[in-house]
Amino acid sequence: MAASPSITRLLAPFVHPADRLLLAVSGDRTCLTTLCTGLPVRLVTTTGARSGLPRAHPLTILQEGECLVLIASNFGRSRFPAWYHNLRAQPVARVRLGGRQRAFRARPASAEERARWWAMAVDLYPGYADYERRAAPRTLPVFALEPARQAEARQPRGHGW
């Protein structure tokens, strides 16, 4: 029900500001999205594509080992979320995990990774399948966030877009 078009239209403008505030006051322990859906949400800070300023986004995160996975669903809207453009312009992010800021390097998921992570995402939150249908023909991008040191060792130059 939370993924229905009428609910997301109603809640979308309020969810991220409320999540940002609750994550701050709870020491990253909880937020509105987690309380209502049980989804794991973390504060991801990117650099604004145009402004160059830090932008904090409460995002649902999947985790596989040390790799964090983000789905650029934007509630199934026709446009990509702002953080998608930010990571495309500057593929560096900071994520608060366990009260600590950690640096990550973003990259698009490979086709194999996307298939695996997409299945994990839909299993965790079936609403992603609804979002993908509504966003069509836009494909919902999947990003891997790798710890900065690990990512630099794999890909020392450029960001592979």
Q: Which of 58, 48, 105 has the alpha carbon at shortest distance from 82?
A: 48
Burial class for 40, CB neighbours closer than 10 Å (0-12, 13-18, 19+): middle
Question: Quick one: pLDDT at residue 23?
Answer: 84
Domain that holds residue 114: 5-152
Q: How far apart are CA 94 and CA 4, in angstroms?
A: 31
Question: Quick one: pLDDT at residue 157?
Answer: 46
Q: Which amino acid appears at position 74 of this protein?
A: N
Task: Tell me whether residue 159 is in a domain.
Answer: no
Task: Tell me whether residue 160 is in a domain.
Answer: no
* CB neighbour list of residue 100: distance below 8 Å, 6 or more residues apart: none
| Number of compact structural domains in the chain | 1
Q: At what angle do helices 111-124 and 127-135 cross, to 10 degrees?
A: 120
CA triple 98-102-103, angle to 5 deg: 160
Question: Quick one: pLDDT at residue 97?
Answer: 82
Question: Quick one: pLDDT at residue 8?
Answer: 58
CATH of the domain at 22: 2.30.110.10
Task: Tell me whether residue 161 is in a domain.
Answer: no
Q: Which of 144, 59, 68, 139 has the alpha carbon at shortest distance from 109?
A: 144
Please report, in tens digits, the pLDDT of each residue of the chain (161 residues total): 455 555 656 666 778 788 888 888 888 888 888 888 888 899 999 999 999 999 999 999 999 999 999 999 998 988 999 999 999 999 999 998 877 889 999 999 999 999 999 999 999 999 999 999 999 999 999 999 999 976 554 554 444 44
Task: Tell me whether residue 27 is in a domain.
Answer: yes
Task: Tell me whether residue 158 is in a domain.
Answer: no
Question: Quick one: pLDDT at residue 156?
Answer: 43
Q: What are phi and psi of 127, to 5 degrees?
A: -60, -25
Burial class for 54, CB neighbours closer than 10 Å (0-12, 13-18, 19+): exposed
